[in-house]
Structure 1
């Protein structure tokens, strides 16, 4: 008969003898201080993949060697399923550089809880810093990068043998070269645990809901069971047609029969959507950006924040336009949102009633109508000026000067020659004699120079009426003798460009 020794699993290191020589032994405590939580100072070895690392995590969770409350007075009490769930997320990262916000979204824990469990993994020797993250005010936070480690206690408990293949390499690069027979069964069990995923525990509310469903007799269908009805409310394989009640056909035709299951009211198709406070702010902001030229390109959320007071008071786009008309029009805007914030200051308190807001809207619409009529009159006058007979300048001063010039031209005798000055692109060029033409020779040099200087100054301001009046009444040749060919040509060019929508002058 062969004697085969029963396998004795070695789950934890051998007990440490007491100092006084008693037979009582104390299990070793698994704890890594802060100074040894770096890759350069750790005593463990780097896990080659997340699967073998999760085996070590499950071993630490089941061994009970690491108790967080032995080293601090706050935080989690044990290394439990929540810490294992955090470790599962870390095992899937390569490189292992998790952000706190990422782990919060993945696990559903708070930031403080995530920080607690990361600290527990470091203290248990399962994580080691490669680069520690930074939290500098005013700069973007940098996440820490970890190395997934397997503690020495794990190798000792399972009888795992390691070897350093390169003598010049650091100690944490040790590789597994074998395992004791006593640790194979425990290793297989840890492998099955590492292959399963630890889920988030169900809330108490959902547990109470399922318990109430069981009390009422509602059973959820399970794979492999027969489905007796379309609603799946029972598990019997027999027919339930004998207990089914069908209403008479006359009630079905008249619509008197009602379904025992109440139906939820459906939303009306195409109905207006009811906005909340934030929705009304954004709706008013979009309308303001579209309607006001000086708000084009501004951020809609910023305009919504600026106009939050009037939006909460129930103002419409038209009422805001009426209030801006009362505050005054603007010609040059450098920052639209800032100007709107200034103009809307205390607006909801000044026009606090619908009647006041209606009056402001009426004034704004009256001003718009007046401006529209004024533009129509200007266009009509300009059209009549260029398309119909000449009506003369509208300015009284210009009318007097033109009348005086025409009087002098008519009184000038013909046949004389005089010194004649001409303008050529702003330069005065005098010629000794000029061709004599009737109606101009009687003017002396000072009068001609004063007339041309006045016409040139008016031309620089965009007023071409002296030149166009002279051309229309005296003709092109006489006007060129009076004002010079260059000045007449420039004036006619500006007068022709004023009728085009592609040219604007007189304003910046």
Structure 2
């Protein structure tokens, strides 16, 4: 052995002993999927079962830094950052995943070229795979591409996720997760929290102090794996060993692999901002606008008014906790309005002093009961009025007010009844078979005939044909024409036909 070799043996330390596989750091190459393997049939990844699990993989790619766009192209975005995650959030909500470029531009606010860049980055990172590639035919509508949301193999390896192929005849991309290594549960919980939050568009201006603080926090948290040609360590020491304490557990769904307060719980939303029934509790301004909206919907003369203006006018009663029923009861106490030119102004006048007069809930409840009782009484009065009108319209014929004319009509009706009783039993009332039955025609004096004609003519002016119809029914059309004249009988028949038609209306003046 030469002196140089002996000196090197002294300086170079002995190799370190091998560590346990469960705490070893996995070194993964940079993520990149060539264009030929960006199709579902040629992809090495597996299909994500839902958008939540896919967003965990998206956040892992953005966090790990395994995918560097500028390693493969000289243009476009420099890194897989929050903008790419925002585009992925829109894709996670589509079923099936058929996003149009115009749709993503409208949803994200990016340019068309930027959307195309970020879709290409998701494909190159192994997170998207083409099922159908869209086409643009000249003169025809453009067809959107259909993608499959994929989970890269590197994600399963880094977190120790075990997969199983339940159907041997199915393609390899249909394999499903069957478990996760104990060392990857904490990281999966972090990714679950990130996937449950929505990444929004960052502000235009950020301070350098905040950026430095964020970089320092990211450096303290560490990354998932070490990247080739770069020194990346992780305090979680994620390994790829197949032996794990969780090997004997049951197979959970992939959406339940995150650990929060317990091993298999999902992050829960805080109840601090939740009100009754899961809704947010309204503040003072919200209660004003809610009461104003209800007033514009339920009060007749407030419809069409500006809701913000009504909210300002009714701010006193809204802050006092009044409901819309209590406000309507107070308006009933102040008096009903029939003609209103400016609803907000009238409301301001009527609500003056309302909080002072009805200053307790008991007084407001009593006002509401009084208002309901008034509404019920009004409803009953309206029903009775309609019923009385129908009975008057459908009832018997009203006799004239003139005493002399009334006496003459009574004598005439008595003669009509006597003549009707003398008819042959087989002859019906109103027929023209009096001559066949052997009866004599009905005779009245000329004075009575003129009086009846005048009464019938006056009734026709008012749209009533009762007198002529009664005579036609009792004596027949021939005797009625002899008594009133053909002109009056014909006009009465025409008016009666018009009144029964649904296509004709008439009114009296």
Q: TM-score range by the shorter chain?
A: 0.3 to 0.5
Task: Normalising by structure 2, report the TM-score.
Answer: 0.36
Greater relative contact order, per chain length (Cα 8 Å cut-off, separation 6+): 2
TM-score (norm 1): 0.36
